[in-house]
A and B are shown apart, each in its own frame.
Chain A
Amino acid sequence: MEAQVDDSLLIKKYINGDEKALETLIERHNQRISCFIYSKVNDRTITEDIFQDTFIKVIRTLKRGTYSEEGKFLPWVMRIAHNLIIDHFRKSNRMPMFHGNESFNIFSIMSDEQLNVEGQIIKNQIDTDLGVLIAELPQDQKDVLMMRIYRDMSFKEISENTGVSINTALGRMRYALINLRKIIDQNNIVLTN
């Protein structure tokens, strides 16, 4: 009973401009409200967020002078917190969030598309080696392969650029690949990672 009287006195002081009274109120009920929120949401960060939103509502209501529940400060704050917890669950049902735990973390099975540093070094090495091998090909086959692979041109565009038929361009590409494989086999080159 004593605490409730004190609460209403503190609220009056706060409404009259005593900011220190708010600090006393928050400190006094911090643990009870935090435990109440945590018991529902089971997450410390969300507890902090809901606690903060609860008191923002409390502050706004008190400052606007629309608070009327004399002597029932804590149940009123608890009700605000309760409503915000419901809002939180409504929102998270609409946007389900996956939470990992100590034994399973989603990031351990997810990976990005990019190569790691080692993979990138190996890829660069293969690209360089392949460049050296392509330089060994006859000029007509080399031109077709360069246009197709490095410039991403279609065989129709290649035939227009080189002045040969599409079938000839296709044939040169085929021989370019056969010859590349032949060079790789003959020199026992390993190009994979």
Chain B
Amino acid sequence: MEEIYIKNSEKNELIKTKSETIQFLLNYSKSLKITQIKGHKFESNLN
């Protein structure tokens, strides 16, 4: 009987992306360099 009344409390919470993911994005942004040569744009990741 107990299993029929599952409470899914997750749905009521306000979802926010984790700080680790945000940190990854900020690091990705810092490492991404765009180089333009003769009208062509090249991406490079400098770690």
The residues of A with any CB-CB pair to B shorter than 8 Å are: 19, 22-23, 26-27, 30-31, 33-35, 37-38, 42, 44, 47-48, 51-52, 55-56, 59-60, 63-65, 101-103
Instruction: Identify the B interface with A (CB < 8 A).
Output: 3, 6, 10-11, 14-18, 21-22, 24-26, 28-30, 32, 34, 41, 43
B29 and A34: CB pair below 8 A? no
User: Cα distance A38–B10 when bound, in Å?
Assistant: 10
CA distance A59 to B24 in the complex (A): 12
- Enumerate chain A residues within 8 angstroms of B16, measured Cβ to Cβ: 30-31, 34
- Residue in contact with A56 in the complex, picked from B11, B18, B25, CB distance below 8 Å: B25
Instruction: Please state if A59 and B10 are interface contacts (CB–CB under 8 Å).
Output: no
| CB pair B25 A55 closer than 8 Å | yes
How long is the Cα–Cα vector from A31 to B22 in the complex, in angstroms? 12
Q: For the complex, give the distance between the alpha carbons of A37 and B10 in Å.
A: 14
Contact (Cβ within 8 A) A26 B32: no
The distance from the CB of B11 to the nearest CB of chain A, in whole angstroms, is: 8
| Chain B residue with the shortest CB-CB distance to A56 | B28
- A residues less than 8 Å from B30 (CB atoms): 19
Residues of A within 8 A of B41 (CB): 64
Given that A22-B26, A27-B22 are contacting pairs, would A34 and B34 also be in contact in the complex, using a CB cutoff of 8 Å? no
B14 near A103: Cβ-Cβ < 8 Å: no
Q: Is the CB of A31 within 8 A of B14?
A: yes
User: In the bound complex, how far is the Cα of B32 from the Cα of A35, in angstroms?
Assistant: 28
CB atoms of B17 and A51 under 8 A apart: yes
Cross-chain contact of B32 among A27, A31, A48, A63 (Cβ < 8 A) = A63
Residues of A within 8 A of B26 (CB): 19, 22-23, 26
Contacts of A103 in B (CB 8 A): 3, 6
Q: What residues on B are CB-neighbors of A38 within 8 Å?
A: 15
**Interchain nearest-CB distance for A79 vs B (Å):** 18
